[in-house]
Amino acid sequence: MSSNKLPNAPETSNEAKDTDWVRVTSADGFAFLIRRKIANVSGTMRSMLDTQSNYAEAVSSTCPVEQRGIIVEKMLEYMSFRAHYEGVGSKEEVLIHEITERIPPEIVLELLLAADYQEGALNHTSLSTIPNVL
């Protein structure tokens, strides 16, 4: 495996798997490793990482996000939360307060703007809980 490949990155196949690792980098130099399944929660990241597109991001399995590290971290936390709970049958089983309690009020607006750019990183159900954070 070459040194610039992430763990579990396909060697010869163009097929990407949900268990492949993706690197997400912030504007201030922080890097996060997440599973492709989590990155696919975001429409923007899903497009960047589409193996059929031959974008540089897809080839390197790296998504640059032009936001501060704390914003990228909280967005990825939510995307992980959403990917984990997407198969849950009823809304009562999803403990949304677990994620909203971890969002500092001073970054909520910036986080919403970043999530909007990421197309789907936050959904309308989550947006209704944001006033409780403020």
Domain that holds residue 37: 21-133
User: Pairing state of beta strands 62-64 and 31-35?
Assistant: unpaired
Q: Would residue 30 count as lying in a domain? A: yes
Render pLDDT for 43-94 as a digit per residue (tens, 0 to 9).
999 999 998 988 999 999 999 999 999 999 999 998 998 888 877 766 666 7
Q: Would residue 6 count as lying in a domain? A: no
Residues 6/18, Cβ–Cβ less than 8 Å: no
Q: Would residue 15 count as lying in a domain? A: no
Q: Would residue 52 count as lying in a domain? A: yes
Which CATH number do you get for residue 66? 3.30.710.10
Q: Would residue 40 count as lying in a domain? A: yes
Count of structural domains within the chain: 1
Render pLDDT for 96-130 as a digit per residue (tens, 0 to 9).
787 888 899 999 999 999 988 887 555 544 545 55
Q: Would residue 7 count as lying in a domain? A: no
Question: Amino acid letter at 63?
Answer: C
